[in-house]
Structure 1
Amino acid sequence: MVWTPPEGKQFGNLVLADEHTLVAEGIAKLLEDSFSRVSIASTADRFREVVRNVRPSLVITDLYLPSSGCIELMEGILQEQRAPAFMFLPAEADSDTVARAMAAGAKGFLHRRCGSQELFRAIDCVMGGCTYVAASLLVSPAGAPKRRKAMLTTKQLQVLEHVALGMRAQEVAQRLHLSTRTVESHKRAIMRQLDVRSSLEMVRVARDEGILA
């Protein structure tokens, strides 16, 4: 199956960072029609060079490259102007690692066992300005509210707070100087993170878990 962005648009340049080149090549083949250019890096030095030269709009990366952790690499790159969005796609990750990556600025986190459809949905979400964390990675018994809150962006928390005040999407959009469509996208992302299906349930769960005061 070949996936294309809405209206056939391409999402700029993509960088895939993985020490297992064969894995990266498979993902590149899956996504090559949806990005203007797909580049692969298998070492930290090559990764920095590629990001600097091709100016990607999205980076999909493992957690580690030889001699370097990719969360730390991401933190350095996010300090630069026109920094790309980062999505992590490791073979293994615990909830603490997921929370640390999201708090450091990642926009997406999936397990490598995910299907292509979920990868496509995550890319759509991230390139639309929202965050995406696979539901299977959100399960965490101790400290779950703190971790879930860390996985919400500042803008998503603002949307959540205004919805909790009883505001409709149009009112939230006016207050936060966003489009109604963007507010709705943020709400869908929050509901996915909290595993709920309605705004009322979203607010209730957020309050129960201490995400909202």
Structure 2
Amino acid sequence: MTENLTVQAAPQIQLLLIDDHPLVRDGLRARLETIASITIAGEAGTAEDALAIAASKPINLILMDINLGTGNGISLTARFKAEYPHIAVIMLSMHEKTEYVNQSMQAGARAYVLKDAPAVEIIEAIDTVIAGGTYFSTGLKKQSANSDSDSGQMLTQREKSILTCIATGKSNKHIARDLGLSVRTVETHRLNIKRKLNIEGQADLIRYALSNVIA
């Protein structure tokens, strides 16, 4: 007896492009609309238009610029995270400074890609975020590697692995599961990391991780 097997199709990506420059949106659309798994569900140049589209269409992914005609992409990302937590945000920006990366990730972005990055990086970022991960442009990775502080060199390989997990926003429970450790062991490593780096609070630890362990 032959069984009928049904292959489930991958969910369609409903993408919203947010940039205050129409030419930039046109360029992104041209790059992305040829990909079968992506539907360009809308475009917006302002925060108000973006929120209106999200309220009326089944958006599940956003490419967001930091500089908008009204408001800015970082605050808009935080609002999307609060009002539409199922929508993942990829920040697409010309700004390379660590402070912009940190603020974007803290606001809820799942990836940070530089506008002058090759098109393949945008595709990689989309694939990574849809799969549940985080992504940073190659240029940012190199910048981070070149700016590692001396204090960071005092960390053991295990502590560096945990710091990388912290940078991606994972909880102690998730870190323990991923690294095959107990939650108590992860907590001990966190304390040791903060002691070696002379860091007191959890927020400061997260900021350090975002600044120094972009991966």
- What is the distance in 2 between the residues matched to 1:152 and 1:96? 16
Identity across the alignment (%): 23
**Alignment gaps of 5+ in structure 1:** 1-6, 177-205
Tell me the equivalent position of 1:152.
168
Equivalence for 1:47: 50
TM-score, normalised by the number of residues in structure 2: 0.64
Aligned to 1:28: 29
Cα distance, 1:94–1:45 mapped onto 2, change above 3 Å: same
Q: How many residues align?
A: 164
Q: Secondary structure at the match of 1:110?
A: strand
- Displacement, 1:43? 1.5
Larger radius of gyration: 2
Matches within 5 A, 1:58-137: 58-137=61-140
2-side partners of 1:160 and 1:96: how far apart? 25
> 1:15 corresponds to which residue?
16
Q: TM-score, normalised by structure 1?
A: 0.65
* Residues 154 and 77 of structure 1, relative CA distance in 2, 3 Å threshold: same
Kindly provide the amino acid, as one letter, of the partner of residue 28 in structure 2.
Answer: I
Distance 1:98 1:15, change over 3 A: same
Would you say the 8 A contact 2:41–2:57 is kept in 1? Answer: no
Q: Secondary structure at the match of 2:93?
A: coil
Q: State whether residues 10 and 36 of structure 1, in contact with CA within 8 Å, keep that contact through their aligned partners in structure 2.
A: no
